[in-house]
Each structure stands twice: as C-alpha cells, then as structure tokens.
Amino acid sequence: MLLVTSIIAALLTIIFIKLSFAVIALRRKNRVGLGDGGFDDLERAIRAQGNFAEYVPFGIILIACLELNGAPWWLVAAPGISLIIGRLIHVVGINTPPPDFSKRILGMKFTFITLITLVALNLGWSLYKLVG
C-alpha cells in the first residue's frame, strides 16, 4: 500500500488545484484566453503553476517507488514533506510582486535537494534490498 505517498500526493494536488484556480481567476479578470496577455500577475501565476507541474510528478514517482520497495514510512515521509515545503516557498517567491528571488531560489533549492535525495534513496534502498 502507498499510504504515505497517498497523503503526500493529495497535499501536493491540493496546492496544484489552488494554483490552477489562481490562473483561471486571473485569466477571467484580465480577459485573457491564451498566454499572459502582457499581465505580470498572470505570467507569475502561470509560471508558478507550470513550474509546480514540471517538478512535482518526478517527486511523487520517486516517493511512490521508495514506499513500494518497502522503505520505512519516515524515510518516505521526510522527502515528501521537504518537497511540499520547497514547492510552497517557491510559490510565495514567484507570486510576490516583484518576484522575491531569495524565496524562489530557496524553494528551488529545497526541490532540487529533495529530488537528488530521492534519487540517492531509491538507488541505495534498491541496492540494499537486492544485496540484502
């Protein structure tokens, strides 16, 4: 069962839905059907949503693989929490006008460190299970 992954994926999906609704609201407000129409707030919202959609699936897949391969719940939950934190910090950084690059960079650091850690954990855990 993927209990920890289910919780993490559900929380991340809630964030994604919120980001999507923000884009929809700004498109309606600014009467823009496609693209950003030159509106900075819409461009930021689109990129916050897009960036989230680009990175989160890899994290969820790696978290699920780790859990499916029998890693302890805390070893699955820790990077999941880190991914959620990183994505939230990034959203705040990109959506605060003008963009707060320090928070955006911190959010990306959390995200990349988490993804790299998940790669190492998956490789390490898989090799441990194969050899042990």
**Quick one: DSSP state of residue 27?**
H
The ranges assigned to domains in the chain are 3-131
34-52 confidence digits (pLDDT tens): 999 999 999 999 999 999 9
Residues in the chain: 132
Third-level CATH fold of 3-131: Four Helix Bundle (Hemerythrin (Met), subunit A) (1.20.120)
118-132 confidence digits (pLDDT tens): 999 999 999 999 998
Give yes or no for a contact between 56 and 16, defined as CB atoms under 8 angstroms apart: yes
pLDDT for the residue 67: 98
List the structure tokens of 91: 């959203």
The pTM of the full predicted model, rounded to 2 decimals, is: 0.93
**Quick one: DSSP state of residue 34?**
S
Give yes or no for a contact between 46 and 36, defined as CB atoms under 8 angstroms apart: yes
